[in-house]
Each structure stands twice: as C-alpha cells, then as structure tokens.
Amino acid sequence: MTTVQTLVTGARRWRADVLGGTTWQAALLRAVGFETAQHLRNRLALTLVVFFIPVWLAIVRTIIPARPVAYLSRITDAPITVDAGRLALISAVLNATTLIIGFMLFATVRRAREFDQRLVLAGYPRPCLLLAKLIGLGLVALTVGGYATIVLSLYTDVRQPGLLFLSLVAGGLVYGGLGIALGVAVSTELAGMFVIIMVSLVDVMVQNPVINPGRNQTVLQFLPTYGPMQSAVAATFTDTGSFGYLMLGPLWLLVFALFGLSAFYLRTKDHTRSEADAPTAAVTVRLLPDGTFEIESRRGPVVVQEVERR
C-alpha cells in the first residue's frame, strides 16, 4: 500500500473515530509522520545542510579579514567592538540556515498541495494538516539550527552556545513560515525560490556593518531576522541576552504562517459534509387525469431514476 493510500485510509478511519467519540491525536501523528517523511526525502536539502554550511563558513572566513568594527547592539544598549571576520561568520551561518529551512518548507508544502487537497476531500481534518506542518517546521529548525551551531563553534569561539542555538532556530522559523506562505501562494517554483534567496540576502547582509556602515539603522528593526541577528551577536561576543529580541523570530513566523494557513484553508475545500447538512428536497406530486404524475420541486434537487422491471 502506498503512502497516499495509507493516509487516505487513515483519514477515513479518523472520520469513523470522530463519529465514535475518539480524539484526533492519531490523525495528527499520521500527518506529522507524513511531513517528516517528506523532509527526509528531500535529499538536496539534506546535502545542503551537511556540506553547504561548513563550506560556506570556510569561504567567508577566508575572504573576510579580521579587523575591529563597531556593531550597534540593541541588547547592550551601546555599540560594541567586534571582529569583522567573526561577525561575517554569524551573518553567513544565519543566511545559510534561513535559506535551507525556507527551501525545505517551500518545497514540501508545494509538492504536497494536491495531496493535501485529496486528504481533505477524503475527510482528513485540516487543523491536523496545518498543525503538522508547523510541527515539521519546528523539527527542521531544531535540527538545522543545532548542526549550524556546532559547525560555527568549530570556526570561532561562542560565549553562549545555547543562546546562539536559539537564535538560529528563531531565524529558521521565520523563513520556514515564509516558505509555507510561498508554497501555497506562488504559482511557480522559480518564483518562490527567487523570493526566498533575495529576501534572505538583503535581510541578513544589510545588518552587517561591514556591508552597511551607515549610521541610520532604524529601518533594520523591521527586517525579519533583526531579532535573531541581534541575539546571535550577543551570544557570540557578550554574556548578555534578551528574550524579547529572541522572540521577534516567532512573531514573524506567526505573520507568515497566518497568511500561508489562510491561503491553505481557502485552497482546500472540504466537501465531506454530514448527511444532516445535506440539502433536503420539498416536492409536490400531483396525479393527472391521464394517469401520469407531475412532480414539482419547491426546494432542493429531485432525481428521477428509472428502475428496471423484472
């Protein structure tokens, strides 16, 4: 039995369980299993996680010279002097993490669009599918963020590895939410990938004072990864942190997720209404003088079916 047949069968079983009073945890577990399997099948993304992150950090470390540069940290309420090479590594690892997670969620959601529609038509609950996508995003962000933290720790000293890990996870959640939104909104894969690449490059790179040495940094506060970047820099160079800046990532996830999940609801139509909700017919049958019947419908459809006589 294929994966599609298994999940469609599970959807039908779920309907029977709900009618019998059973909770829908089993349906959610099946949906999470499907999302996890989809991510594991994405071999290109897994390859990027394993090889692209360390290679990209090695390139950045080679080409960016080590020199002092002032970084405006909102967490310490004052500019701090950091090494430009190490700061470039933070920008690079955050950029790589957001790109990979954004791609993974975009590819998974887009490939499963028609499949999700079939599951909904088979009776699978949409809240389960939506929650499963968010759980899958969380698992991906934790995995990629943890690996990226370990790799970055091999290239530079990190004063607060735990906070750095949470910062990368927060940034990954932002672009995972963007990937979900684009997966249900854009018409082509090229458009979605182009948007993710360009937004991530502009978002992360302009926060680096080596690239953007301007004094007016107010507009940067409205960038999606502003909070995770501030938190990651603080985790690498200082002993302080800010829960508020760290939570800016999940707030952007909420914005993107609401847009994507609303589009998902609109695109997946649920035709599995119960019989009690089905329209009823109100008809009048008149016997005519010639022995025939006249049927008039005042409400609802009337189906006339000829029965074969034996």
- What is the pLDDT, as a whole number, of residue 279? 53
- What is the pLDDT, as a whole number, of residue 139? 92
- The tens digit of pLDDT for each residue in 183-239 reads 888 878 888 888 998 998 888 888 888 777 766 667 888 889 999 999 999 999 988
The Cα diameter of the chain in Å comes to 104
- What is the pLDDT, as a whole number, of residue 308? 53
36 — pLDDT class (breaks 50, 70, 90):
confident
Instruction: Map out the domains of the chain as residue ranges.
Output: 3-274
- What is the pLDDT, as a whole number, of residue 301? 58
- The tens digit of pLDDT for each residue in 248-269 reads 888 898 888 888 778 777 777 6
Bigger pLDDT: 54 vs 309: 54
- Rounded Cα gap, residues 254 and 248, in angstroms: 10
Please report the DSSP string for 178-195 in residue order. Answer: HHHHHHHH-SSHHHHHHH
Structure tokens given for 31: 């949906």
| Amino acid in the structure at residue 286 | R
Q: Is 272 exposed, middle or buried (0-12, 13-18, 19+ CB in 10 A)?
A: middle
Nearest CA-CA partner of 167 in 246, 255, 221: 246
Mean pLDDT, range 283-309, rounded to an integer: 64
Rounded to 5°, angle at Cα 137 from 119 and 90: 160
- The tens digit of pLDDT for each residue in 4-22 reads 555 555 555 555 454 343 4
245 — pLDDT class (breaks 50, 70, 90):
confident
- What is the pLDDT, as a whole number, of residue 274? 44
Bigger pLDDT: 274 vs 86: 86
Q: How far is CA 200 from CA 62, 178, 230, in A?
A: 22, 10, 16
